[in-house]
Chains A and B, each alone.
Chain A
Amino acid sequence: MAICSYLPDLLCKFPAIDDTTIRMARKSVDDGFKALVREYVNIIDALVQPLQWFLNYLEKLFVSSPWIIILAVMVAIVYYGSRDMRITIGTIVSMLLIGFVGLWNDTMVTLAMVTVCTFIAIIVGLPIGILMARSERAQSIINPILDVMQTMPSFVYLIPVVMIFGIGKVPGLIAVVIYAVPPMIRLTNLGIRLVDKEVLEAADAFGSSPWQRLKNVQMPLALPTIMAGINQTIMMSLAMVVVASMVGVGGLGRNVLQAINNQFFTVGFFNGFALVAIAIIFDRTSQAYGKRLQKHSEVIHG
């Protein structure tokens, strides 16, 4: 540009570090990371082994059980959770449709995956959320981390996950959990912080210990909000299974991925709709359950 002729070079062209330096730095970081992983590969494998077992066990259980039993259990859970005939019938119809178009087994694999992910997200998210609610300091440290986890494109953190764990179900699982756990943490934190100050004061006035406070007051009153967190976590795990299938997770996600690669329009939509159906079932059931929990929890004065 003409304007550059009046300006010193430094202000006109951005003084970037030169390519060679960057390449060197990049290489040493990558190599260092790889070496580190290689060093600890055994420990890492041993650590994630239980996850692998758990996942495999559940998958086998879901896939090999007769479909009618699975359906009966699902219907029972949905009905118990929602106490709503419409949701229950919707569940039966959509599961039957999924079976008819030949996606039963893949759906079971995905279901197993989502179940394990949700389970882990709760186990990890709940204590972190509680910690955040108890300490401003923890909150100010954890919040930016959650921001990063939620906004970082999932493909980016798949890279280190694959570098550490290789290709397979467990890395997929971990990627999904990283993506799905933030709402669990945030809503646990929020739910506890929103507990009526007056009620907490009453609990204190009677001499509750911190644990009694948490168990008797904070957790029960935060439960509806925590349920909303669990709901979000489930939704996000379902959304993530397609991405996770890129690193070797089976089920509906893999079918979608293959459909994208081969431009199988119909297959893509069938699998997509199957995912949507499961998502809606989970969503409606957990929301209805959450609403029922809330029934008595509103404080009404006067």
Chain B
Amino acid sequence: MASHAIEVKNLYKIFGPRGRDFVDQVKAGLGKTELNEKHGHVLGLQDINISMPAGGVMVVMGLSGSGKSTLIRHINRLIDPTAGEVLYDGVDVCKMNENDLREFRRHKTAMVFQKFALLPHRTIIENTVYGLEIQGVPMEESRKRAQGWIERVGLKGFENHYPNQLSGGMQQRVGLARALTNDADILLMDEAYSALDPLIRVDMQTVLLDLQKELKKTVVFITHDLDEALRLGDKIAILRDGKVIQQGTGQEIVLKPADEYITAFVKEVNRGRVINVETIMKPLSGNPEGVPVTVGTVLESAARLMTLANQTIAHVVDANGRPVGSLDLRTLISAMVTPIGHELQAA
């Protein structure tokens, strides 16, 4: 199944009975607080333009109330936009009629909810098959598929329990299994991992990455955790007050934060796991010395290679093994500990 990109274009959402009337004022610069104080309407999203990579993971980050859940709900149109469009495969989701929308939701999307939203009167297995049941897939087959995912998220043996007999983290994994069982092209994950403990969380991240290797779904993933975002995201967008303030790859965001807000956001990140060697390498002078390190290796791995080889110098090689730059341990370590912005300015 080939995946398709999702394009969000000029999307505005203003909550309130007369939202449409304020779009022009918001376009002209009316802010969220003003809109709320003067007109009693809440600015959910403004001027969102994101193109989400086909078959990749799009991570959306931002503080509480910045509009992440609102944005993800526009993709399967649980929320209707006030203005703008959401294109999937060239079709505007916001203009679909009721039938097309239902078919789109049934066959193209699956969603994991921030608050789980399991059906409390159904057992875990009955919850997990829900999407397939709605599609009319025969019971036997849907149970088989659901069973596999229940086991994969580590809930074997709980099939016949009810959601309120499970812990929060377990319920969240049921939500995950329910979405994955649907085997849809688009996977919408609204803080799908926020209730998980660190070990299971890493395990579930691996599930997602494995899934991506095989099936290449278009995933929209909301998280508060920058390390998670950097691990999973092919592309990251950061929201504030309903506006995208920066979008790009993890590297771009960590290396060139657009403003203080994002600088604060990325301050605590483990740089060694984000920055690649080619970002800090020096031009090759003379013969390549020390251990060879491939382009795309993160600093931490490079440091590990050099330590193992008992070397303080390394050279960077491209995919074909051609040397392209050099590296020494001192530069490498200082890049891992000091804000890279300063380094780059000095260089």
22 A-B pairs (CB sep. < 8 Å) = A198-B115, A199-B118, A201-B117, A202-B111, A202-B118, A203-B119, A205-B76, A205-B105, A205-B111, A205-B188, A206-B105, A206-B106, A207-B102, A207-B134, A209-B102, A216-B119, A216-B133, A220-B121, A221-B120, A296-B164, A301-B168, A302-B167
Q: A206-B110, A206-B131, A296-B121 are in contact. List 5 more A-B contacts (CB 8 A).
A: A203-B130, A206-B130, A296-B162, A297-B120, A299-B120
B-side residues, CB < 8 A to A, are 76, 78, 102-107, 109-111, 113, 115-121, 130-131, 133-135, 162-164, 167-168, 171, 182, 188, 195
Shortest distance between the CB of A172 and any CB in chain B (Å): 38
Q: Does A69 sit within 8 A of B, measured CB to CB?
A: no
Q: In the complex, are the beta carbons of A208 and B121 less than 8 A apart? A: no
Chain A contact residues, CB within 8 Å of chain B: 196, 198-199, 201-209, 212, 216-217, 220-221, 296-302
- Tell me the complex Cα distance, A301–B131, Å: 21
Inside 8 A of B118's CB, which chain A residues have their CB?
Answer: 199, 202, 299
Kindly list chain A residues whose C-beta atoms are within 8 Å of the C-beta of B78: 201, 204-205
The 4 A-B residue pairs with the shortest CB-CB distance in the complex, in nearest-first order: A207-B106, A207-B105, A202-B117, A302-B168
B164 near A300 (CB under 8 angstroms)?
yes
CA distance A23 to B162 in the complex (A): 67
Q: Which residues of A contact B133 (CB under 8 A)?
A: 216
| Nearest CB on B from A93, distance (A) | 35
> Contact: B121 with A301, CB < 8 Å?
no
Given contacts A204-B78, A205-B111, A300-B164, contact A199 B105 (CB under 8 A): no
How far, in angstroms, from A25 to B133 measured CA to CA in the complex?
62
Distance (Å) between the CB of B331 and the closest chain A CB? 46
- List the B side residues contacting A199 at CB < 8 Å: 117-120
Contacts across chains A and B counted by CB atoms under 8 Å = 80
CB < 8 Å: which of A198, A217, A221 contacts B113? Answer: A198
User: Given A205-B76, A216-B119, A298–B164 Cβ distance below 8 Å?
Assistant: yes
Chain A residues within 8 Å of B182, by CB: 206
Specify which chain A residues have a CB less than 8 angstroms from the CB of B113 in the assembled complex.
198, 201-202, 205
Q: Is the CB of A202 within 8 A of B134?
A: no
Given the interface pairs A205-B105, A207-B106, the reply to whether A298 lies near B120 with Cβ below 8 Å is yes
Chain A residues positioned under 8 Å from B116 (CB to CB): 198, 301
* Chain A residue at minimal CB-CB distance from B175: A202
A212 nearest CB neighbor, chain B only: B134
Which chain A positions have C-beta within 8 A of B188? 205
A291 to chain B, nearest CB (A): 14
| Residues on B with beta carbons closer than 8 Å to the beta carbon of A207 | 102-107, 131, 134-135
A contact residues around B107 at 8 Å (CB): 207
Q: Nearest Cβ distance between residue A206 and chain B, in whole angstroms? A: 4
For B111, list chain A residues within 8 Å (CB).
202, 205-206
Please determine whether B121 and A198 come into contact, CB atoms closer than 8 angstroms: no
Q: Which residues of B contact A205 (CB under 8 A)?
A: 76, 78, 105, 109-111, 113, 188
Interface centre among B104, B106, B118, B119 (most CB of A within 10 A): B119
CB-CB nearest in chain B for A221: B121
